[in-house]
Structure 1
Amino acid sequence: MPDVSSFTEIRYEVADRIATITLHRPERLNAFTLTMCQELVAAADAADADDDVRVVILTGEGRGFCAGADLEKGAATFDEDANREPGDDLGSIGGVARDWGGVVTLRFAALRKPLIAAINGVAVGVGATMTLPADVRIASEAARFGFVFARRGIVYDGAASWFLPRVVGVSQASEWVLTGRVFDSAEALAGRLVSRVVPAGELIPTARALAAEIAENTSGVSVALCRRLTWSMLDAPSPWEAHRIETAALAATGKGPDAAEGVMSFLEKRPAQFTARVAEWDHLVPDWPVPPADHRPPAE
């Protein structure tokens, strides 16, 4: 398991079977850096490796969630040749260093545990796109969002050209991306980017209550497999492909200990005590869509 005590730009804490990842550069509105990218990947690895973690919450420290890429390098901020950093071990595509936002979003998409984004303040650029693989996004009334790439002379990051239209639809995604404007939490709710908006003081309690509902009442294996099915079937050629994989998955889980416990706890009117380990079910059925172990693209 990664050494979470060594993190410098995020915090990682586990309590009540919930892992909370907090972006922690409040003096810079949690602006995104290579170090933050690497630590977020390591935090996801830690959550996946810990059987006691059932749900992950992602939030920010201070007034902002994440103000996007750190712009301290000025005009060279997005110049890949001028901006290579020592310690960038994240690989390349076509000889170009990988987009750090995409590294994070793909790792979040591959999580075995459900991810709740609790968006406490400004979330623009990569600060917005890193939330897209979350299963649930909850916003504070103070949150602001912006897919501002066109206003910075660049394009989507974080694999958002795949995620955003699937989350909010093509028309809404296009409006936000082509204008690059910043919008409030009410518009994010109306556009289905977030599922609910709450007062600032209720944000983390709301996220933790939802996380607790998952942790206390569901099978970790069932949640992990349903999460992977949801993302993997978005590009399935037809419902028949979903039916094929669901049939195999139902047959396998139906023979497992959690299915027996789920039924008996209901019949006996008692809380369920699920015991199956998530890591043991990754290769459940033939052709099961499993992300690569290091979440990198195929070797060139």
Structure 2
Amino acid sequence: MSYETILYEVDGPILTVTLNRPDKLNAYTAVMGAELADAFQRADQDDEVRVVIVTGAGRGFCAGADISGGAGAFDAKAEGSVAFQAPGQPRQAGGGFVEAIFNCRKPSIAAINGAAVGVGATLTLPMDIRIASSAAKIGFIFARRGLVPEAGSAWFLPRLVGLPQALRWCLTGTLITAEEAKAGGLLAEVVGPEAVLARAREIALEIAENTAPVSIALARQMLWRFAGAPDPFDLLKVDGPLSMQLGAGPDVREGVGAFLEKRPPRFPGRVSSDMPPAYPWWDET
């Protein structure tokens, strides 16, 4: 599939998705949202892809929604509205790119190479690791535009940084530095502008070369879905059966064997065909 607003490039076990409207600082449109969703759905089905990196072309990551159409940019009924509905296409059902990123069985890394504002910040929240350029600015600026936090960010952001920090950033709508974002828990690392993508690839390769695909798919869902649980007891109903099902399988035998033989593991399990019977456990509740 060809894309209008993103680049889709697979190099070994790593897929790099590049937001590709550099002349607009990669400003978001509904077309971009639909293409992001498709890219993550493709990655989910491709066993050769182990990790997804998302970055921006040029000097920005994503400057927020494209408002070049004027004040009607956020009015789904107005001419020139691009934020919610692609021209000539019905609005996406379900959670769109948020759902695609969240449900993807591959881990994702946001390589924030420049400004990430509005949806440019919130689209990174369902991703698993965020690193940023020391020159990047991040802003949850919705209240300054008369909007509310979107793309599920009122759910994601407090889980990542805590409610007090999320409130401060959303209620002021101010731009924050990468260092403040890291201190607040939003970013895992801040690196020099020239090192963002290279560092993201280092992290991606560490995952791809040392971990089992099925284990990663399960672990990220367990962490995301149970992080806000009031107690561990529902999780215990899930991790016990999963541990027993995986413990009898070839990935664990390979992982233990590789450790004992002091060699890199070669896990045979594939997410397309080898997810355990207990997955997806949330469909049963």
Number of the residue aligned with 2:34: 38
Mapped pair 1:19 → 2:20: no
| Matching residue within 214, 221, 225 for 2:218 | 225
Amino acid paired to 1:138: I
Mapped pair 1:81 → 2:77: yes
SS of equivalent to 1:235? coil
TM-score normalised by structure 1 residue count: 0.89
Q: CA deviation at 1:107?
A: 1.3
Q: CA deviation at 1:265?
A: 1.0
Identity in percent? 48
Q: CA deviation at 1:67?
A: 0.5
1:18-167 to structure 2, matched below 5 A, reads 18-82=14-78, 83=81, 85-91=87-93, 102-167=95-160
SS of equivalent to 2:47? coil
RMSD between superposed Cα atoms in Å: 1.6
| Matching residue within 4, 9, 14 for 1:8 | 4
Gaps of 5+ in 1: 92-97, 292-300
| Matching residue within 183, 188, 200 for 1:207 | 200
SS of equivalent to 1:27? helix
* Rounded Cα–Cα distance in structure 2 between residues aligned with 1:184 and 1:89: 34
SS of equivalent to 1:145? strand
1:179-194 to structure 2, matched below 5 A, reads 179-194=172-187
Is the 2:242–2:278 Cα contact (8 Å) retained in structure 1? yes
Q: 1:269 to 1:283 in 2, by over 3 A?
A: closer
TM-score normalised by structure 2 residue count: 0.94
Q: CA deviation at 1:142?
A: 1.4
Is the 2:110–2:127 Cα contact (8 Å) retained in structure 1? yes
| Matching residue within 280, 284, 289 for 2:282 | 289
* Rounded Cα–Cα distance in structure 1 between residues aligned with 2:243 and 2:34: 36
Q: 1:281 to 1:170 in 2, by over 3 A?
A: farther
Residues 4-47 of structure 1: CA distance to partner in whole angstroms, max 9, x if unpaired? xx111000001120000000000000000111011101110111
Q: Which moved more, 1:279-288 or 1:105-114?
A: 279-288
* Rounded Cα–Cα distance in structure 1 between residues aligned with 2:279 and 2:43: 26
Is the 2:108–2:128 Cα contact (8 Å) retained in structure 1? yes
Residues 56-112 of structure 1: CA distance to partner in whole angstroms, max 9, x if unpaired? 000000111000100012111111222454113413xxxxxx7xxx52222111110
How many matched pairs?
Answer: 278
